[in-house]
Amino acid sequence: MDLFSPVQLGDLELANRVVMAPLTRMRSGAAGVPGDLVVEHYAQRAGLGLIITEGTYPSHESRSYPGQPGIVTDDQAAGWSRVAEAVHARGGKVFMQVMHGGRVSHTAITGTERIVAPSAIAVPGEAHTPEGKQPYPVPHALTTEEAVAVKAEFVAAARRAVDAGLDGVELHAANGYLLHEFLGVDSNTRTDVYGGSPQARARFVVEVATEVAAEIGAARTGIRISPQHGVQGIQEPDASDVEATYGALVDAIAPLGLAYLSVLHREPAGALVQDLRRRFGGTFMVNTGFATPTEREEAVSYVADDLADVVAVGRAVIANPDLVERWVGGYPENAPDASTFYGAGPKGYTDYPTLAGA
C-alpha cells in the first residue's frame, strides 16, 4: 500500500491516506461559533485525504476550553455548515470530532453549575479559564440515568453535524476526556453497569458508539482511543487491564462496521495496537500522538509496512496546509510555531505559506 493512494473509509473514497488529526486551536470565540477564520483554516487543508475537526462540544456542560467550538446551537451548526461547504468545494472530506470534556473543564469555562465525570475524582493540575488558571474542580459523578442523558447528547450532536453537511463524526474516547474517563481504571470507580470490570468500564463507550451509528449510520461514525497515553489524570498503569478493557471495547464495536478506528499510541507497531487492529477488522488509523511529530518517512512506512490503512498527522498539518503536495514532491516543510497553537487570530493558523503562494 502507498500513503498517497486512494482508500475507502466508510462510504467515502479518500484521495490519499494522510488525515488531519483533531487539533485544539481555540479560534471560535466565546459563543463557540466557527467563523470566517475557522472556515478558511479548514478549507486550506482540503488536500488531506480526510480532515478531522478539533474536538467540538455536544453540550454546554461538556465544553473544555475557551474558544472551543460547539455543535449545540443553531448558530454553531450554521458555522460548521460553512466549514463543510468550503472543504467540499475544494474536493475535501471532513468529519467532526465530537468531544465531551468531562472532568477536564471548569464552570468558569462552561458557564454551567457543575462539571461531570464517571466518578467524583478531580483531574490533577489547573484549568486555563477566562479568569486565569484555576484548580480543576471535583466533578459531579453522573448517576446511571444522567449517563443515559449524556449518551443522548452525543447522538443529537452527531445528527446536527451530518445535517450541517459534515461527512461524519469521530467519537473522542481518548486523551482523558469523558469517554476515556469511563474506560480508565483510575478515573472510573463506579459500581453500577458502567464500572468495575473491564467490560463494564467499556460499556458506556460501546453504547455511545452503537447509538450514534444507529442514528447517522456506521459508515459515518469513527472512534478515537489512546490506550496507555498517560495524560490528564488517566495513567492506566496495569497492562493486563489495558489489554482487557480495550479488547472488550473493540470486540464490542467491531460488528457495528464503523468507518474507522483511530488509535493514538507511541508504538503503532507494538503488540497492543496491532492486536486492536486485528480485532477491529476495518479501516485502521494510527497517530503517534504528542511524543514526537509524525514525519513523512514514518507515515509512509506505517502504510507500506501494513501497520495501518491511514495515518493521522498533527503538527505538520498545522504548519503546512498543502502537506500532501509537499510530501509527494519531497519539498521542504514549514516549521510549526508552537507559541501560536492556542489563542485567537490568524497568526499561526491561516498564514502559513503554501508552495503555490511561494
Residues with a known catalytic role: 177
Q: Dihedral through CA 89, CA 69, CA 44, CA 91, nearest 10?
A: -30
- How far, in Å, CA of 323 to CA of 296, rounded? 10
- How far, in Å, CA of 63 to CA of 133, rounded? 16
Number of continuous H segments (helices) and E segments (strands) in the chain: 11, 14
- What angle do the packed helices 271-280 and 239-253 form, to 10 degrees? 20
- Three-state secondary-structure class, residue 172: strand
Longest dimension (CA), the chain: 60
Contacts of 327-335 with CB under 8 Å at 24 or more apart are 327/3, 327/4, 327/18, 327/296, 327/299, 328/4, 329/355, 331/355
The CA-to-CA distance between both ends of the chain, in Å, stands at 32
Note the helical H segments in 57-197: 74-89, 107-110, 144-163, 178-183
- How far, in Å, CA of 284 to CA of 222, rounded? 10
Q: Which residues contact 76 (CB under 8 A, 6 or more apart)?
A: 31, 32, 33, 34, 69, 70
195 closest CA partner among 156, 155, 158, 144: 144
- How far, in Å, CA of 123 to CA of 17, rounded? 35
Q: How far is CA 123 from CA 138, 299, 356, in A?
A: 8, 33, 45
